[in-house]
Amino acid sequence: SASAFPPQKPKSELVRTSLRLLTSSAYRLQSECRKALPVESSPSTDIQLVTQQVIQCAYDIAKAAKQLVTITTKENNN
């Protein structure tokens, strides 16, 4: 069966890439959520924009987690 990943990329590199995306997205999520908190938000805070950013970060975290699951499942099945 054809691999979902290009053969030139070793699994360890794919894991590192996924972990980097997971880490950076988690930091962004934390930062965006802080902006939405009443204590830290300024009157100029666009809550709708912050909400969109939070949704995007959450999506990126889910995507990175799915990549990790896919990679580790393939490794375990080989």
- Mean pLDDT along residues 54-75: 90
The token pair that represents 2 in the structure block: 């054809």
Has residue 8 got a pLDDT over 60?
Answer: no
**77: in domain:** no
- Mean pLDDT along residues 44-62: 91
CATH of the domain at 58: 1.20.120.330
**1: in domain:** no
Domain range for 59 is: 11-72
* DSSP structural state of residue 5: S
**66: in domain:** yes
**30: in domain:** yes
Nearest residue to 63 (alpha-carbon basis) of 15, 11, 29, 18 = 18
pTM: 0.69
Measure CA 36 to chain center.
Answer: 20
Could you read off the pLDDT of 26-44 as tens digits, one per residue?
A: 999 999 888 888 776 677 8
Q: How many domains does the chain have?
A: 1
Q: How far apart are CA 78 and CA 66, in angstroms?
A: 18
